[in-house]
Chain A
């Protein structure tokens, strides 16, 4: 049973502020992923929770107790490093037993605990080997074993599979998820890979330049991004963004991408919602994911003529760049739907998948159609 709470955390490295007023409450058994680009402060946050980094302001609470002045060795938290950080002069067994020996448990207990955890991770056959003789995946299994063996209050993982190749990464991702479901300990996981974040997290915490951008379930973060940064950071291919002006015409809202000859049709309720949210033309950005751009090969009601510019066949689907005015709008279609680049097609934006942002502040107006 471990809750972790961060209250008003601030951290500077010299003149650079790496964490700005960070507040976050993590529930027991929750799998939290800190997601952001490198240098966004996610790793520093993790290291601060572990006690490897001091903080300048704020409180870190573990089960309600402030721990920011307690040494790392007394916080009872396990840390898995990207570099695995297995001690090269010890065998796998000794590596896993190392945290247990800190508390000077007796030999038989240690032996039993190490055996149990290596059985869970299926590394029993590796116990006598040295870390240098292991593959990357096995090294990380051992590192996780070393973290799990003393049943810490919480597991902190800093890009634990970032150093592995793509195929192994996928395997280990599934393994970490399985392990979390089985062992169920409060876990904070740092990554810059949004796919990892989406697939593992109970909740994702998106950070940018030391500032928390959004906290939510993977679905929330994907479907209702709080601002333009989150919208573009999560999801692949990246969400389309275009400056637009909105007008009303014959019972329809007309959304005109800057520089485009024709406007997209939207339900009339859009104008009222935008007005209520305080949005103004000239400061309005439309965001839509490629799957929210509908493509037709013949002229249809509500569809705008566009030109297919580039086609990227990806096997399961195609990504097509459509020229709308001076902008490119990327759409996702069935594979082979548009046979050749240069072809004239018709496009429409699915209102249910449209997001509207304040162009200057970047925040979402939170409009749902």
Chain B
């Protein structure tokens, strides 16, 4: 970059910064909306114009996690007094927490769906990245017949939109009993992410000079040892970037999850919108569910941010 900037360059720079700011705000607006709604009292969630300044509360989260029923009349004062602070928040909203015969609090469907999402997304990411790394290493380091065709074939599995294969997949899954199971979704997401993982990892591994492994080979290591001691650490950046992409895909996937699962293995994406349709929607609860759903990807991406940044500009700044 030139050390000296002309006046027009400086002006152009300012315009560019302003444009970036506007775009960033545009992108952040929905996230702000969801986040603020998740902490709003119910009566402020749907005001026009939207309420910007309000006293945040966590009643939407309490409602999100508990099974509730409508109250016809105000609660008995002694019930209200005996209830813990979080249950009072539900009373205040004109609802009560459903308890079992023994008095245990009944959970809503959300925590389970959230756990399902975590299990499916993490397992399929580990599988897709692990198998993808091995496969990519093979493609990168060994000559084989029809290498280009095979790679293209792997990529071609991404060419059909999921909706097209969803119905046949559903029928096949029903036949083998994978419907509404964690493994069913894990296998699907792994298969879907694998092609992407192979291609991305091949690019990263191609960038690692072959001499590193050759040096390890003559230094007395086997190829497998060289792979684990040299290639994997060198490919850490690529693995992190690939993992983030695979995780996001698996975490956000909606179409397959909607069709393949309903109760036992349902993930959060099809569950959250299903709540909109049941009676008069409580938007604060839906916003709370969406807000929590955004967190894992945000945290995961944040933890791997250094790797990711290097991964994006791989080859450009390395060496």
Question: Could you tell me which A residues sit within 8 Å of B by CB distance?
Answer: 50-52, 71-79, 81, 83, 85, 87-89, 98-99, 102-103, 146, 150
Bound state CA distance, A52 and B215, in angstroms? 10
Check A98/B217 contact, CB under 8 A, given A73-B222, A88-B234: no
* B218 close to A (CB within 8 Å): yes
Query: Which residues of B are found within 8 Å of A98, using beta-carbon distances?
Result: 216, 219
Determine the distance from Cα of A79 to Cα of B215 in the docked complex, in whole angstroms.
7
Contact B219 A146 (CB under 8 A): yes
A99, B220: Cβ atoms under 8 Å? yes
Interface segment, one of B55-63, B101-109, B164-172, B206-214: B206-214
Find chain B residues with CB under 8 A from A73 CB.
217-222
Check A79 against B220 for contact (C-beta < 8 Å): no
Tell me whether A51 and B217 are in contact (CB under 8 A). yes
Contact call A79/B209, Cβ cutoff below 8 A: no
What chain B residues lie within 8 Å of A77 (beta carbons)?
218
Give the chain B neighbours of A71 by CB distance below 8 A. 217, 222
19 extra interface residue pairs, beta carbon distance < 8 Å, beyond A74-B220, A77-B218, A83-B209: A50-B218, A52-B214, A72-B217, A73-B217, A73-B219, A73-B222, A78-B218, A78-B219, A81-B211, A81-B214, A83-B211, A87-B215, A87-B233, A87-B234, A89-B233, A98-B219, A99-B219, A102-B220, A102-B221
Expressed in whole angstroms, the Cα–Cα distance for A51 and B214 within the complex equals 10
**Which DSSP category, helix, strand, loop or mixed, fits chain B's interface?**
helix
Q: Which residue of A lies closest to B319 (CB)?
A: A132
Min Cβ gap A66→B in Å is: 18
B154 interface residue per 8 A CB criterion: no
- The answer to whether the Cβ of B230 comes within 8 Å of any Cβ in the partner chain is yes
Give the one of B211, B220, B234, B236 with max A CB within 10 A.
B220
**A88 CB to closest chain B CB, in angstroms?**
7
Residues of A within 8 A of B217 (CB): 51-52, 71-73
- A150 vs B218: C-alpha distance when bound (angstroms): 12
Chain B residues with Cβ under 8 A from A83's Cβ? 209, 211
> For the complex, what is the distance from the CA of A71 to the CA of B218, rounded to whole Å?
9
Smallest CB–CB gap between A237 and chain B, Å? 35
- Which one, B209, B218, B233, contacts A72 given CB within 8 A? B218
Alpha-carbon separation in the docked complex, A85 to B234 (Å): 12
Most chain-B Cβ atoms within 10 A of its Cβ — which of A71, A102, A146?
A102
Q: Scoring B residues 192 to 236 as 1 if CB is less than 8 Å from chain A, else 0, what string do you get?
A: 000000000000000001011011111111100100001001101
Bound-state Cα–Cα, A167 to B226, Å: 35
Question: Which B residues are in CB contact (< 8 Å) with A89?
Answer: 233-234, 236
Picked from A79, A87, A103, the residue with its CB within 8 Å of the CB of B218 is: A79
For B318, the closest partner residue in chain A by CB is A88
Closest to B225 in A: A102
Q: How far is the CB of B228 from chain A (nearest CB, A)?
A: 12
Bound-state CA distance A50–B212 (Å) is 15
